Amino acid sequence: MEKIKKRIKGPFCLILAICCLGSAALAGIPSDYIVKPEDLPALGKWMFDHDQNPASWLGEKYQGKALREPINVVIVDKFADSDYKAKQKLVLNFARAGYRSREGHSGGYRGYIAGHLFGQLPAEDGRAFSNALYLLNNNHGRIFGPHFEKNKYYFIGAFSREIVAPLKKVKHQYGSFIRARDDFANKMDKKTVYKIIGYANMNNKIGNDPALTTGDHDGSAVILNAVE
């Protein structure tokens, strides 16, 4: 498998890895980490680390507070006819939007949908979907799913913008959740079969906590719906 991966480049390598990835594991997530937006399954508010705790943005402090990573993207596909095809279609369209699987990012995260924890896409170690190399300022994110319900496949994602500061002690610094979410969604809407249909209230904005923050996040996830 490793030799095969080395010979295949771009999104097709990621698609191959998808075949070997289990779909989900039963999750024991606290109820206050879960939200039920209108017309959507129950969703985790946060991206979770390998210990099933809400992920903290590389452990970085933002304005003196721990920076928690919110789910800010929901993707719905009623046309795919299998988990694999739903993932394959998503990866190919991400590439068309300029968000390819790129190295230089932390990995191993999970996302909660309707009672299950899903491993991240890209599934390869140290990768995320990004619009630029990790050596440059970039928007990047991880996707979780799909969950199949009511004849639709559901994915969720956590996207953020990082600022690369090579002369600083902390080389990769948090930039924005909103800028990354909106750039990703707008590129998908303009260049792919996934279109923006609205926003879900994720109830995951933290603004007044003395120890935690979600930076500029507004508490909403953009909803992208496949049209074919």
What pLDDT is stored for residue 3 in this prediction? Answer: 39
Q: What is the pLDDT of residue 164?
A: 87
Closest CA to 47 of 58, 60, 56: 56
Q: In this predicted model, what pLDDT tens digit does every residue of 52-95 receive, in sequence order? A: 999 998 778 889 999 999 999 999 999 999 999 999 999 999 99
pTM score of the predicted model: 0.87
**Domain residue ranges of the chain, discontinuous segments joined by +:** 2-226
169: pLDDT strictly greater than 60: no
Whether the pLDDT of residue 25 is over 60: the answer is: no
Tokens, residue 157: 């994602």
Mean pLDDT, residues 146-157? 98
Q: pLDDT tens digit string along 184-209?
A: 999 999 999 999 999 999 999 998 99
pLDDT band of 176, cuts 50, 70, 90? very high
Name the range with the highest mean pLDDT among 1-5, 173-177, 202-206, 207-211: 202-206
